[in-house]
Amino acid sequence: MQPTRASAHPETIERDDRPVHQWRLAQLARLGIPRPLADVVADHVDWHEIAALVQRGCAPRLALRIVR
């Protein structure tokens, strides 16, 4: 079974996925995750889970570590 392009190279962002990536990056940055870090993890974490932890008082970087 051949892996799909996305699974073979998860760090590769398809041209059509760029707006989604940018939106996720913005959401993570808004929560307090530094933009360079948010850019790296935007496609690999559920920002909703991070937001829920931050809203309960968790530090943004700690929330990211918990979710990852």
pLDDT digits (tens, 9 = 90+) for 15-33: 578 999 999 999 999 999 9
Has residue 48 got a pLDDT over 80?
Answer: yes
**CA-CA-CA-CA dihedral for 12, 36, 44, 4, to nearest 10:** 0
Q: What is the pTM of this model?
A: 0.73
Please report the pLDDT score of residue 1 as a whole number. Answer: 46
What does the pLDDT look like over 56-67, one tens digit per residue?
Answer: 999 999 999 999
| Rounded CA separation 30/42 (Å) | 12
